[in-house]
Amino acid sequence: MSNSVLIIDDSDTVRERIIHTLESYELFSRYHEADDGLEGFKKLLSSPVDVILCDLEMPRIDGFKFLNMIKARPDLQDVPVIILTGMNDRELKLKGLEQGASDYITKPFDPEELVARVKVHLKIKHLQDDLKRTNELLLELSNTDHLTGLFNRRYLMEALEKEFQRSLRKGGNLSLIILDIDHFKKVNDTYGHLQGDIVLNKVALQLQKELRSYDIAARYGGEEFVALLPDAMLKEALFVAERVRQAVQGTKFNGALSSLAITVSMGIATLPTPEGATVDNFIKMADDALYRAKANGRNRVEYLTNTL
């Protein structure tokens, strides 16, 4: 594993001794040095590290100010800071720990104690990083439709509520597109559900490709998908929906599905809506527009903007 350490001390001798000690145990592959807190903070911003060893008494920016600068950055608060203090600096040790330091080493330090303490905090850092990655993965899984990789309905409803309220507060635009694969039951009945899953994935891919990076694409359920377009007026939503419709219509399949041609019908609702509108009303507008598209022959886009 590639570990890195930042050593902040105004003494070249101390820094050299620390590096020499740590190198003998091969704990780190990269070593960064700074002679005060300001230089150390700049290096930390440009080169993330796993452990920081920081003297408390330094010119310009001392260790306490450095700890306060770390505290102000949430992205840096998981990096353990081991403070370096003199033999009799009990009050400084306590103050450093109170201000966010993870541990302390007394100078002149014992090499074995230094290595032991660094090992402990390096292990803790790795465990924290693993836990953070696991939590991020769990969050992603809880928000994702397992088949298509798009967001799921639960995530969509949370995002829609936030964007809906934001648009109402600011008087902004918001567009919602509901997409339904035409005659999808016939696809499952003819080719089987496994092949039907391939079709769902292809449609999801085409939908995602036509959206902006900050738009939200979700699987609403079954063969229905939803696209949420913040700050998009009706004209923009119609343009996107038509691109999606054409992209799906032009989709080619291989193997057992090589002769299959699919189309989609879409309904659009946009904000602003009549006074008193709710998220449920907004969804119903898009859903009603979708039913209109179905009733008018499928493979088309319809919209509603001013009726609930």
Catalytic residues: 223
d(CA 107, CA 114): 10
Q: What dihedral do alpha carbons 85, 87, 91, 95 form, nearest 10°? A: 20
Specify which residues 226 forms β-bridges with.
178, 218
From the number of C-beta atoms within 10 Å of its C-beta (0-12, 13-18, 19+), residue 140 rates as: exposed
From the number of C-beta atoms within 10 Å of its C-beta (0-12, 13-18, 19+), residue 24 rates as: exposed
Residues 62 and 56 sit within 8 Å (Cβ to Cβ): yes
Encoding tokens for residue 176? Answer: 């919602």
Amino acid at 272: P
